[in-house]
Amino acid sequence: MVAKQILERGIRNPAILNAMEEIPRHQFAPYTPARKAYSDGPLPIGQGQTISQPYIVAYMTEILELHPSHKVLEVGTGSGYQTALLAHLVAEVYSIEIVVSHYIRARKVLSKYALHNIHLRLGNGRDGWSEEAPFDRIIVTAASTDAPENLLDQLREGGLMIIPVGPTPFEQKLKIFRKKNGIIARQDDLPVRFVPLIDQSA
């Protein structure tokens, strides 16, 4: 998977490549046979949600420009695969999941590994995690029609957030937000297709 789907498509960060080699993806894909869990595409995890294509996981992680000292907020724990990857790369990971069954399963799977820098919360990801803010990086793993202001407010000066944004699944793009001198700059990136970000308050 790493050699054919990640490295050959231009992901060169050795820390990301090594982490993806170490993490057993099949453990995070409960409805997929182990031999198919490393295929080149998203996989179902229940409740209409998916674990993203390996390349997209690696691509979004590389865009984050992570440093070992970083404190990262992840919106959308899902299966916990992206969470585990982040935990291999940064100091602290705070991850929020709104679907109870996903939260319970991810907590159980992640507890099998010596990843003591992961903090999980059951709740509405659009609210962020204000008492632990600010964050050096924020990654949103489900699509929104906008960039939630609550999340941008929780971004540290010099920080970066990546989120899929679009009115429909066929009009989504990854968007990168950087905070510099208190001002948020936006950059459009790769066209993508993500499941929608669930909002309890809507």
Give the pLDDT of the chain (202 residues) as one tens digit per residue: 999 999 999 999 999 999 999 999 999 999 999 999 999 999 999 998 999 999 999 999 999 999 999 999 999 999 999 999 999 999 999 999 999 999 999 999 999 998 999 999 999 999 999 999 999 999 999 999 899 999 999 999 999 999 999 887 788 999 999 999 999 999 999 889 898 888 755 4
| C-alpha distance from residue 173 to each of 39, 138, 143 (Å) | 23, 16, 9
Given a contact cutoff of 8 angstroms between Cβ atoms, the answer to whether 92 and 72 are in contact is yes
Whichever domain contains 141, its CATH number is 3.40.50.150
Asked if residue 41 belongs to a domain, the reply is no
Q: What is d(CA 71, CA 94) in angstroms, rounded to the nearest whole number?
A: 8
- The pLDDT value recorded for residue 46 is 93
Q: What angle do CA 142, 144, 148 make, to 5 degrees?
A: 110
Count of domains observed in the chain = 1
Closest CA to 63 of 168, 166, 196, 160: 160
Q: What is d(CA 29, CA 79) in angstroms, rounded to the nearest whole number?
A: 7
Asked if residue 111 belongs to a domain, the reply is yes
Q: Which residues are marked as active site?
A: 52
Asked if residue 40 belongs to a domain, the reply is no
Asked if residue 36 belongs to a domain, the reply is no
Asked if residue 164 belongs to a domain, the reply is yes
- The pLDDT value recorded for residue 169 is 72
- The pLDDT value recorded for residue 202 is 44
Given a contact cutoff of 8 angstroms between Cβ atoms, the answer to whether 164 and 174 are in contact is yes
Asked if residue 35 belongs to a domain, the reply is no
Given a contact cutoff of 8 angstroms between Cβ atoms, the answer to whether 120 and 103 are in contact is yes
Neighbours of 176 (CB within 10 A): 18
Range of the domain at 182: 2-28+47-192
